[in-house]
Chain A
Amino acid sequence: MNFDFSDDQKQLRDEARRFLTEKCPPKAVRAVIDGQAPYDRELWKGLADMGFLGVAIPEAYGGSGAGHLELCVIAEEMGRALAPVPFSSTVYLAAEALLLAGSDAQKQKWLPAIAQGHAVGTLALFEGTGNPSPKAIKLTASNGVLNGTKKPVADGAIADFAIVAARTASTGRDSDIALFLVDLTSEGVEAKALTSIDPSRNQAEITFTNVKAEPLGNAAEGWSILSQVLDRAAVLVGFEQVGGSDRALEMGRDYALDRIAFGRQIGSFQAVKHMLADMYVSATLARSNCYYGAWALSTNAAELPEAAAAARISATQAFQHCSKNNIQVHGGMGFTWEFDCHLYYRRSNAIAVGLGSLSYWEDQLIERMRQKNAA
C-alpha cells in the first residue's frame, strides 16, 4: 500500500501550479467574469501546449497517455486557480465519454482535437430543475434526429461538440436513454448563453431542432455509460474542489495573520483559529476521500462508484465550507467585489450542483453501499 502521489506526479503538480500562478492570476478570472471573453482562450492554448488537456488521453489519440492520477493532480491545480476555461466539460466529461464508448472514428476525430486545444466539448444532460435521472430526459431521438432543449449545459455556448442524452422510447427503463455525439455547428442547433452565479464558467441553453446526430456507444447502454462518465467526473471535479478548498483556507489563514483588530492579529482569537481549524479538517477529509477515488479511477476498480460518490460529497462539503468561512474570516472586506473571496464562493456553489447536487450523490452513495452489503 502507498497512499500518496509519486514524486513524478508531485513534480507535475508543482509544474501545473507554477504555470497557473503565472497564466491564471485572479485578474484573468475577473476578465471572464467581467464579460470580456466567454473563457480564457490564451490559457486554454497554454494548457494544450503544456500537454495538460491530453494527459489522460492515450498516445494513439494524440494525448500523452500519462494517466488519470496525473489528471487528478492537474484538476486540483485548476480548482485552486479557478481556471476560467471549459476544462471539466471537455476533459472530464466529453473526453471520458469518448474514451468509454466512442467508436474508433469518433475518437480519431475528437480526441486529438481536444488534446491540442482545438475542440471544446461538453455533456448536454440536464433539462431544467432536477438531478440526473432517466425520467428527467425529455429530449427525443428518433431515427437519429434530435428534438428538445437542454439547460443548463456547462460551457454549452463555447463548445464545438456535445454528448447529448436523449430519449429513444418510453418504456420506463434505463435503456430508453441513448447518447449522441453532436457537432454543435450543425444545422438546427441553437445555443444561448445564460447568466449564472459563477460567470467565470459559461452556462447555456441549447435547443435542438431536427438535428442529425450520430450515436455514441450502444444505444441501449446510454444511461449506463452516462453514469460511468459521471462517476469518473465526480472524482476529477472532486480534486478541483479540493484545490479550491485549500486555496480558500490559505487565503483565510493569510488574512488572519495579516489583519490586526483589538490590538492583536485576528488569527490569535480562538473563535477565528477554530473556524480555520475546522476548514482544515473538512479539506483534509475531502482530500483523503479524493485520493481513494483517484486510486479507484486510475485502476478502474470495482470500488469506483462508491469511492466517486464519497469523494464528490466530501469535496462538495469542504469547498462550500471553506469558501463561505473564508469570507467570514475576512469580515466586511470579504464581501467586497475587490477581494477574491467571492470568486471562490461562487465557484464552490456552482460546482456543487454541476454534476448533480449533494443530495443526489448522498443518495447514490448509500444505494451503492447498500447494494455492496447485500451482495
Chain B
Amino acid sequence: MNFDDTPQEAEFRAKAREWIAANAPHEYADELKKASLGRVQLKHANILEVAKVWQKKKADAGWAVPHWPKDYGGRGASPIERVIWQQEEGVFGKLGALFIIGQGMCGPTMMAYASEEHKRHYLPPLASGEKVWCQLFSEPAGGSDVAGLRTRAEKDGDDWVINGQKIWTSGAHYSDYGILITRTDPTVPKHKGLTMFFLDMKSPGVEIKPIKQANGQSEFNEVYFTDVRIPDHQRLGAVGDGWNVSLTTLMNERMAIGAGVATGFPELFDFVSNLTLEDGPAIDNPAVRSRLATYAVRASGLRYTSFRSISALSRGERPGPENSIGKLVAGAMTQEVATYALDLQGAAGVLNSPEDAEVAGKFQAMLLRSPATRVEGGTDEILRNIIAERVLGLPGDIRVDKDVPFNKIPTRGR
C-alpha cells in the first residue's frame, strides 16, 4: 500500500508538469476553474476551438490520450501514469469534455474491432482532437432497453443501407464520425440481430437536430438516417454480433476511471469555506459540518475506489462491473450537493446569472444539469442492477422478451 510516486512515476509527473506549465492555455485557467458540471463555456472564445488547439498541442508532444498505443496517437502510458497526467492537467482537462465520447468509448471499440488499416487512419486524428466522434446508440423507444433499438441496416451489394432514428446523441452536431448500432435481423431475439458500424457523419441522408434540454442547453441531438450508405468494411465485428461489440463500448463508458469523476464536493467545500451565514462563518456551523463531512467521505471514498481499480488494472486485471459505482455515486451526489449549495444561499439561491449569483451561478448550473447525469450512460437503476447481478451474483431481472424474435415483441401497452 503506497500512495507515493515510484521514481519512474515521479519522473513522469515532473515531465508532465513541466510541459503543462510551458504549454497550457493559462489565459483560460480562471474561467475553467469556475466552470462546473453543466456549464463549461468561455466568455470571449469559442470553447470548441480552444479545446481543439489544446488537444492538438498535446498530441504533437505525445500527451493526448497518453494510455493509447503510440501507433494510434498515444504514448503507451500505464494506467497510473494516465491518472498522474489527469492530476497534472487539472482544470485544462475540462477542455477535453468534447472528446470524451470519442476517446473514451468509440476509440476503444475501434481498437477492438476495426481493421488495422482503419485504426491507423482514424485513431490518430481522434486522439489529436482534429476529428470528433459520437456514439449513436439510444433510440426514442429504447431508453434503458438499449437492445430494443429499431434503426435498420440492410445489405445492398458491398454497402449497408441505414434507415431509422437515434436520440440523446451527445455532440452529434459537431462530430465528424460516429459508431452506430443497428438491427440487421428482426426475425431473431433482440440481442442477436444487431450489427455495429462506424460512419462519416457528413454522409448523405444523415440529418442532425439539436435537442433543447431541460437546462436550456443543447448538448444532445436527434439523428435521422434516410437511406444512408455505409460500406461493409466499416462494419465493427461480425454481422449479428453488435450486442457484444456494444458491451465493449458500454464497459468503457462505465469505467469512469481516474481521479476525474465530478462529485461537486471540492466546489462545495470551497464555497462553504468562504461563506458567512447570519450567525458567523458557515464552516463553523455544526449542521453544515455534518453535511459536509458526509459528502467529503463519499467523494474521498470514490477517489480511492478509483485508485484501487487503477492498481488492479496495473496488475493486468480487466475493468469489471464494480466500476459502475463511480457514476452511480457521483451522479446522485452532484444533484444533492447542488441542492444543498442553493439551500445555503437562502432566497438568493434562486438566482443564476453569473453577475448576481454566488460563485457565478456554478451550483445553479450543476442543479439543472445533474438530472441528466443520473440517466445518461445507464440510469442509477440500471447501474444498481449491474452491481446486484454481476458483482453480487443476484438473479437477472425477468425478461419476457429475451427469447422472442424481435418482430414478434409487442410494442404498445394497452
Cβ of B311 and Cβ of A3 under 8 Å apart? yes
Contacting residues of chain B (326-343) with chain A, CB-CB under 8 angstroms: 328-329
Min Cβ gap B312→A in Å is 7
Task: For chain A, residues 324 to 340, give those with C-beta under 8 angstroms from any C-beta of chain B.
Answer: none
The answer to whether B301 and A288 touch across the interface, beta carbons within 8 angstroms, is yes
In the complex where A285-B297, A285-B329 touch, is A273 in contact with B273 (Cβ < 8 A)?
no
**Given contacts A280-B391, A369-B269, A273 and B384 within 8 Å (CB-CB):** yes
Known: A280-B387, A309-B293. 13 other contacts (CB 8 A): A2-B314, A272-B394, A276-B392, A285-B325, A288-B302, A288-B304, A288-B308, A289-B300, A294-B1, A295-B3, A363-B290, A369-B269, A370-B283
Verify A2–B392 contact, CB threshold 8 A: no
**How far apart sit A280 and B323, CA to CA, in the bound complex (Å)?**
12
0/1 interface trace, chain B 280-305, chain A, CB 8 Å (1 if under): 00010010011011101110111111
CA A33 to CA B80, docked complex, whole Å: 48
Q: Which residues of B contact A270 (CB under 8 A)?
A: 381, 384-385, 397
- Using Cβ atoms and an 8 Å threshold, which residues of chain B touch A272? 394
B302 touches A285 (CB 8 A): yes
Instruction: Report whether A3 and B304 are in contact in the complex, using a CB–CB cutoff of 8 Å.
Output: yes
Docked complex: A281-298 residues within 8 A CB-CB of B: 281, 284-286, 288-289, 291-292, 294-295, 298
Q: Is A366 an interface residue (CB 8 A)?
A: yes
A317 interface hit (Cβ, 8 Å): yes
Give a binary string over B347-387; 1 marks a CB under 8 Å from any A CB, 0 the rest.
00000000000000000000000000000000001011101
Residue B307 is within 8 A (CB to CB) of chain A in the complex: yes
Per the CB 8 Å criterion, the residue count for chain A at the interface is: 50
Q: How large is the interface on B (under 10, 10 to 19, 20 to 34, 35 or more residues)?
A: 35 or more
| A278 interfacial by beta-carbon distance below 8 Å | yes
The verdict on A191 contacting chain B, using a C-beta distance below 8 Å, is no
B3 touches A366 (CB 8 A): no
**CB of B287, distance to nearest CB on chain A (Å):** 10
Residues of A within 8 A of B83 (CB): 1
> Is B116 in the interface zone, CB < 8 Å from A?
no
Task: Give CA–CA (A285, B1) in the complex, Å.
Answer: 17
Contacts of B305 in A (CB 8 A): 284-285, 288
Q: Is B2 an interface residue (CB 8 A)?
A: yes
CA distance A313 to B325 in the complex (A): 19
Chain B residues whose CB sits within 8 angstroms of the CB of A366 once the complex forms: 283, 289, 292-293, 296
Q: A249 contacts which chain B residues (CB < 8 A)?
A: 392
B322: contacting residue among A265, A276, A284, A317, CB under 8 A: A284
The one of A291, A363, A369 in contact with B304, judged by C-beta atoms closer than 8 angstroms, is A291
With beta carbons under 8 angstroms apart, the residue of B9, B296, B388 that contacts A1 is B9
Smallest distance from the beta carbon of A14 to chain B beta carbons, Å?
Answer: 17
Report if A256 contacts B (CB, 8 A): yes
Known: A268-B394, A285-B297, A366-B293. A2 touches B311 (CB 8 A): yes
A-B contact pairs, 14 of them (CB 8 A): A1-B6, A3-B307, A4-B308, A265-B394, A276-B392, A277-B383, A278-B384, A281-B325, A285-B302, A289-B300, A295-B3, A313-B294, A365-B293, A365-B296
Question: Measured between alpha carbons, how far is A333 from B34 in the docked complex, in Å?
Answer: 53
Task: Write out, one digit per residue, whether chain A residues 252-263 have a CB within 8 A of any chain B CB (1) or not (0).
Answer: 010011000000
B385 & A286 in contact (Cβ 8 Å cutoff):
no
Say whether B127 faces chain A, with CB atoms less than 8 Å apart: no
Measured CB to CB, the closest approach of chain B to A358, in angstroms, equals: 8
A267-B394, A281-B328, A362-B293 in contact; A274/B381 too (CB < 8 A)?
yes
Q: Contact at A313–B308, with CB atoms within 8 Å?
A: no
Q: How far does the Cβ of A365 sit from chain B's closest Cβ, in whole Å?
A: 5
Report, nearest first, the 9 A-B pairs whose CB atoms are least far apart.
A285-B301, A362-B293, A288-B304, A273-B388, A268-B395, A277-B384, A277-B387, A314-B297, A267-B394
Tell whether B400 is near chain A: CB-to-CB under 8 Å: no
Q: Is B393 an interface residue (CB 8 A)?
A: yes
Measured between beta carbons, the chain A residues less than 8 angstroms from B292 are 362, 366
Give every chain A residue within 8 A of B297 (Cβ-Cβ): 285, 289, 310, 313-314, 317, 365
Residues of A with C-beta under 8 A to B2: 1-3, 295
Give the shortest distance, in Å, between A11 (CB) and chain B (any CB). 15
Interchain CB contact under 8 A, B1 and A69 = yes
Are A268 and B311 neighbours in the complex by a CB distance under 8 Å? no
Asked whether any CB of chain B lies closer than 8 Å to the CB of A373, the reply is: yes
Residues of chain B lying within 8 A (CB to CB) of residue A257? 393-395
Residues of A within 8 A of B398 (CB): 264, 268
